[in-house]
Structure 1
């Protein structure tokens, strides 16, 4: 794996557009998935949560992996179906549709939500 971006930041409303700007040389899907993962932290753990965002490229299959690590191993993402009238709840469904696969790696004091996109 070759690291393309690794950045520590706080999950804030302004962090998503800043992250998209940092990833401007990457595909729309990479930018979208990275900001969706960051937004999940903001929505479920709260503003100001420290995160690490990593974007890597696999030498084996040429795909891109996006990881967002936060300090709460208990708050796991859940794929759910949002109704047409709900204003939120579609982030993981979007990620699930775009990514070849995604998952969660739990550590003793953190978790990493990741997804892998093909080219």
Structure 2
């Protein structure tokens, strides 16, 4: 059985506060997930869309607004949603010259996506956009070795871990945790596709982890 035949692309959501300093973390998280999903060609445009949609909340609803990022597949389209609680501040496309400073964000989203829109609910609005992908189905295989994205994501997790910033934000920690969970899940799918017992692998990994932890703790006691 070919493990690269399909990839699990489950929807994920991340609540956050709409602050300018959080945008970089959101972009890194998005890159990690799209790498895992094998959608490498969508990363740059998707990151641009997230930046502009979050900036729209900051500029027109207000900094610190409770916001939620949702990324999922709509058939073969990559769908990005930003939820906020203000149903009155609606996005618009600015008409005017290239020097206009406001309204340009949604113009960029309109230019680089296949479609976008706004859904209004009783307690929130959802600004969304969709990007076409080369997939044949939501969980279909993209170009390239199917599960090499797991190795790429591990590198992304290491890059986040190696950041030398005091007191990492909650968003950064959650990003690392969710990325780690996703890559473990993807590896288990890969091994199961090749006839391995996922539960046995988890048991062996836990045993190996406990043995290494005990060895490290023993070394620390001897050092003291």
TM-score normalized with structure 2 length: 0.49
Q: Cα deviation per residue 1:62-119 (whole Å; 9 max; x = unaligned)?
A: 2100000000011111111353333343110110011111110001121000001112
Q: Give the number of aligned pairs.
A: 116
Contact residue 11 and residue 38 of structure 1 kept, 8 A: yes
- Which residue of the partner structure matches residue 48 of structure 2? 32
- Which residue of the partner structure matches residue 25 of structure 2? 18
CA distance in 2, matches of 1:71, 1:46: 11
- Cα RMSD (Å): 1.5
- Which residue of the partner structure matches residue 94 of structure 1? 108
Question: Which one is further off, 22-31 or 98-107?
Answer: 22-31
Contact residue 92 and residue 103 of structure 2 kept, 8 A: no
- Which residue of the partner structure matches residue 79 of structure 2? 65
Structure 1 residue runs of 4 or more that deviate by more than 6 Å after TM superposition? none
For residue 80 of structure 2, give the secondary structure of its aligned residue in structure 1: strand
Contact residue 18 and residue 65 of structure 2 kept, 8 A: yes
CA distance in 1, matches of 2:31, 2:104: 23
CA distance in 1, matches of 2:10, 2:29: 17
1:2 aligns with 2:16: no
- Which residue of the partner structure matches residue 110 of structure 1? 124
CA distance in 2, matches of 1:81, 1:17: 29
Between Structure 1 and Structure 2, the one with more helix by share is 2
Q: Indicate which of 67, 71, 95 corresponds to 1:55.
A: 71
Shift in Å at residue 32 of structure 1?
0.9
Max radius of gyration: which structure?
2
Shift in Å at residue 12 of structure 1?
0.3
